[in-house]
Structure 1
């Protein structure tokens, strides 16, 4: 049995988790207050089983951010004893056993997944979402072999339904609600059975509301992972594209058994989630290569840079340990590539992601046709050219919101939108923006809309500006720095901290001598200020919005207020 987790609420029910043996990470013995929900929060009435109710229930369970933050090194002033805090290795080691326990409590087994799903498992630091978009689009062009296609990705930009796609479209509200409550109820039923058997010996009774509530449910990402798999099985999905959340070896998605996986992918690697994955690229590669499966091929983008050789040695060793075949892909050496026709995925760097997707898709289809050694799986340029010709329609139709996306709003402003949030990604974004600007028939005023709450803003802005200058791109005429909050603070709400935004504005002034900077505490006001600039100057305006996927999500909701959430 996996380790137990105790949740303490404002009105704790003593011994709840002990009685029902809740599996979760042992380090999460921290206060957790259930958010207030409208009406009776965990009603079993069918009338309450709406999509809106499902979202409220989902918001009540423990967040991913809460969990990942516990891997961070505590500040020196922390009163926590270092000896009482488990190491990242200890915490990670619990992940898969716990996730398998949760899968069982949802009424699913690995045998269910192996018998009914065939998955391409995608890990990496950068490009995972793009590879998943290309894979989904390619498989949709091959319905006879691929069957129905499901896609599970994260994070979402506007609606949580984006994470679970059926045939390339977000799952509907009605199906999301239906399958959400089927999974929620399965967890409740499991907890009730355990509580009943335990209370007979302990003499303690657990309230029905407590059993139906979030204490008997896994945290956010685990819940959604199980929900996605449940939905795929219920909807008859044959081919699934599954993106890791963080890492690979200990990621919640890595409960996929070898028999359910046709191929795996490791995209470009860089430094991220240091507390969980390590401080060097080779250390991170160890985790990412956890998606390798025995008897299957893993397509990995060849690592470059100072750590390139060490990183590839780790990937090769891990593949050998797993009994997988590592296929090293040099996307940079391929002269091909197909440009998307959907207004997104426009960067030149996408050809590396296309190469990975082409090879993995061909391998997947070959395995489904019982021909895993098909020559379609070659990795040289000639083979990639052949595959890109075969799957060209899929590459052209691939779409991913907020990734090198061009959007023209009702006021005539052209928005170049990319959720880049690392130095490497922003360098690619700068190349894309410089090229797009040069393609414009006029020379409109360029405005930067930027936020990044957690990383080195000075480094990110410096790299972005240098990249644009290197490509002879435009100098920004104005820069707007905002928090990711969608709307202004409500009456009585505590004043929002703008120290990061003000610091970013000062950095921008110092690097570019730009005097026209704006700081806002929400994206809606930032957009209005940009529109005001356009109205005041009576001139064409283009905006590069980048730095954070959270910023991009709030921006899309602001620009498309009638969008389907």
Structure 2
């Protein structure tokens, strides 16, 4: 697998944040890297030359050394490593908030070698609006100035590296080469964390686990690197099949790559998927890790977190439990408590009972942009949720239903509904969009919304902010070339289910905003649900907050 840009990106004499983003965008994007895995493979058993996965970790370790991120330097970091198909972002946000609450408490304010989490760094992906969101310190995205300064420190360091003429993972790499987009941001996050004195890191895998770039960062058996105090494997599902396989068992094998010797790996016990659990248990034995299976019954019996800012029903409560267990164990390790191995043998129920109140308080305060978020703009309330699978869309439907449903006999609610327009903005480019759309609407109906009478418009749009470069000629070309097949299919499915409700197809978010404005002009109040894709939600936030995170 080519791990650098085809030609080394240029050096830069200007050093602004915008310059950093321009250079970052010259790197090979993740979509092109993913495409390598869809190519037919040699029918012979895989080797590093034929299987891009087998090259991933050795290549990333070589990049770490080129960036002066040596195992010795990385050993200053202690990580909670998170893999999974669904819920990774929520668990990362919850774990970060729990560690920050502990750092603020009287018993956990340490910033040096003593007890406490110290400064907390968080590395997640993808971003909603700007790459800065991926790298946070103490719960806040790093500033433009810090991002730019650290970016050019790393860029210059890699630009000065000679060609790699050795017979190693990066053999044949030209002088000054850079890794692809995700790897570069992973290097940048680590550089920033070490630069800023971070002690605890919440580290989210990009894709998979075994061959993910983040797995090259952490300490493996007999090696150096960042220490892993706890691993988390969130809800598993089938995704990224070209890279990870097309069965739950294959996906589980990859995600289990975050397991490390002697380190607990917390995961939901999937009683309905015994084959998946068999894979996780076998992988734990191979890694000499301690798999801590968390049964749903134990989570149900756990009081959980009252008045949480990050809602989500039973699914989110399971995320809270995993984050609580991981954060509590991380703190025990940093405090140097003896017998932490025995702690994880007590069973999930006992461990949940022992979660410190400071951790629970932190879970309560956790937030995540683009999930159950409301932005008010004039007379329009934009309800944003990046749900993009069956479970999360069902939760989004229930969340919205609580706002727009009219309970029979509730005269006040009926009067409010009569003067409030309701529109849906939906897109999903990678999955069966029509099936997910109809599932969302069924869940909304089940939650008490008469979609046929309550919904005023359904708008199906691409995620692009604009589809033209400006001018009538460009707009005309865009109209002829923009692919809206997915949107047309969704609109057709919607019209068949709800023939009395307007369905519109938009080429971009500028058109979508115009369509929403037209609906809003008919009433004093309008509510808009934007869902189906984190990319859609992120670009809508960027449209509504053009200067918010740039």
Q: In which range does the TM-score fall when normalised by the shorter chain?
A: 0.7 to 0.9
User: In structure 1, what is the equivalent of residue 466 of structure 2?
Assistant: 487
User: In structure 2, what is the equivalent of residue 78 of structure 1?
Assistant: none
* Structure 2, gaps ≥5 residues long: 104-108, 110-115, 168-172, 221-225, 408-412
Q: How does 1:446-465 map to 2 (within 5 A)?
A: 446-465=422-441
2:92 is the counterpart of 1:127: no
User: In structure 2, what is the equivalent of residue 272 of structure 1?
Assistant: 239
1:151–1:101 CA distance, 2 compared to 1 (3 A): same
2:487 is the counterpart of 1:501: yes
- Select the residue among 319, 323, 338 that pairs with 1:357: 323
Q: How does 1:512-527 map to 2 (within 5 A)?
A: 512-527=498-513
- Select the residue among 168, 177, 185 that pairs with 1:224: 185
1:211–1:439 CA distance, 2 compared to 1 (3 A): farther
8 Å contact 1:299–1:356 — kept in the other structure?
A: yes
User: In structure 1, what is the equivalent of residue 155 of structure 2?
Assistant: 184
1:345–1:180 CA distance, 2 compared to 1 (3 A): farther
Give the deviation of 1:434 after TM superposition: 2.6
Q: Secondary structure at the match of 1:176?
A: helix
CA distance in 1, matches of 2:389, 2:47: 26
2:369 is the counterpart of 1:401: yes
CA distance in 2, matches of 1:467, 1:550: 22
User: In structure 1, what is the equivalent of residue 20 of structure 2?
Assistant: 54
8 Å contact 1:434–1:474 — kept in the other structure?
A: no
Structure 1 stretch 331-340 or stretch 508-517: which is displaced more?
Answer: 331-340
CA distance in 1, matches of 2:375, 2:136: 26
CA distance in 2, matches of 1:189, 1:302: 49
Give the deviation of 1:514 after TM superposition: 4.4
- Select the residue among 370, 374, 395 that pairs with 2:336: 370
Give the deviation of 1:109 after TM superposition: 1.6
CA distance in 2, matches of 1:323, 1:437: 51
CA distance in 2, matches of 1:528, 1:85: 54
- Select the residue among 187, 190, 210 that pairs with 1:249: 210
Give the deviation of 1:348 after TM superposition: 4.7
Give the deviation of 1:512 after TM superposition: 2.9
1:85–1:503 CA distance, 2 compared to 1 (3 A): farther
User: In structure 2, what is the equivalent of residue 107 of structure 1?
Assistant: 68
CA distance in 1, matches of 2:271, 2:401: 24
Q: How does 1:64-463 map to 2 (within 5 A)?
A: 64-72=30-38, 90-114=51-75, 116-143=76-103, 144=109, 145-191=116-162, 194=164, 211-212=175-176, 216-255=177-216, 256-258=218-220, 260-303=227-270, 305=272, 308-331=273-296, 333-339=300-306, 342=309, 344-371=310-337, 373=339, 379-381=347-349, 383-387=351-355, 389-405=357-373, 407-438=374-405, 442-443=416-417, 444-463=420-439
* Structure 1, gaps ≥5 residues long: 6-23, 36-40, 75-80, 199-205
Give the deviation of 1:379 after TM superposition: 4.8
Q: Secondary structure at the match of 2:210?
A: coil
Q: Secondary structure at the match of 1:119?
A: strand
Give the deviation of 1:445 after TM superposition: 3.5
CA distance in 2, matches of 1:65, 1:140: 34
1:389–1:433 CA distance, 2 compared to 1 (3 A): farther
8 Å contact 1:269–1:303 — kept in the other structure?
A: no
Structure 1 stretch 160-169 or stretch 413-422: which is displaced more?
Answer: 413-422
Q: Secondary structure at the match of 1:94?
A: helix
User: In structure 1, what is the equivalent of residue 113 of structure 2?
Assistant: none
8 Å contact 1:340–1:346 — kept in the other structure?
A: no
Give the deviation of 1:142 after TM superposition: 1.7
8 Å contact 1:478–1:514 — kept in the other structure?
A: no
CA distance in 1, matches of 2:402, 2:306: 14
1:506–1:454 CA distance, 2 compared to 1 (3 A): same
CA distance in 1, matches of 2:316, 2:184: 31
Give the deviation of 1:107 after TM superposition: 1.2
Please give the TM-score of this superposition, normalised by the length of structure 1.
Answer: 0.83
8 Å contact 2:161–2:175 — kept in the other structure?
A: no
CA distance in 2, matches of 1:232, 1:137: 17
Give the deviation of 1:548 after TM superposition: 0.8
Give the deviation of 1:82 after TM superposition: 6.3
8 Å contact 1:345–1:400 — kept in the other structure?
A: no
1:158–1:283 CA distance, 2 compared to 1 (3 A): same
1:418–1:290 CA distance, 2 compared to 1 (3 A): same
Structure 1 stretch 285-294 or stretch 437-446: which is displaced more?
Answer: 437-446
1:304–1:437 CA distance, 2 compared to 1 (3 A): farther
